[in-house]
Structures are given as C-alpha cells and as structure tokens.
Structure 1
Amino acid sequence: MRDTVDKRKTFVIFGMKEKKNPNKFTREREEKELAKTVIK
C-alpha cells in the first residue's frame, strides 16, 4: 500500500522522467528541489 499523501499539497508534472531512487528521503529531497526549480 502506498504512503498516504495530503492531496491538497500534490501536483503532477507531465513529460518529466521519475527518478527511481530507492532511498525515500533522498528521493523526496530531490523531488522537492526539482519542484522548486519548475515553480520558479
């Protein structure tokens, strides 16, 4: 079962490849940095 996520704080970026980093904390940090870059 997937982790429960607050849907109000999520968004999807189409056309970008998802990284398959098995380390959850590293993956989340990288995704957060990528999101900041896209928003700018």
Structure 2
Amino acid sequence: MEGSGPIISHTYFNPSLDKWVLQTNLLSKRRAPPAHFKASH
C-alpha cells in the first residue's frame, strides 16, 4: 500500500545549489505527477 508507510527521506546532491539536499518521499510524491493513480482508477 503506497503512501501508508513511514516517511522515507533521502539526500541527493544538487549541482545547481552545490550542496546536499534532504528530500522526503512526501516532497517527491508532490512533485511527481500521479500517473499511476490515473492508470489504476
């Protein structure tokens, strides 16, 4: 069940900001288009 688990965070290097950025799955889900929701529904 996607979205029902704990908040998973990960860091990635942003070359434009020249620093490591902490991103959570909530942010990445908000940025990404809900294509799988449209497909399943």
- Higher relative strand content: 2
| TM-score normalized by the length of structure 1 | 0.26
Scaled by the length of structure 2, the TM-score of the pair is 0.26
Q: Which has the higher helix share?
A: 1
Q: Highest relative contact order (Cα 8 Å, sep 6+), 1 or 2? A: 2
Which structure would you say has the larger Rg? 2
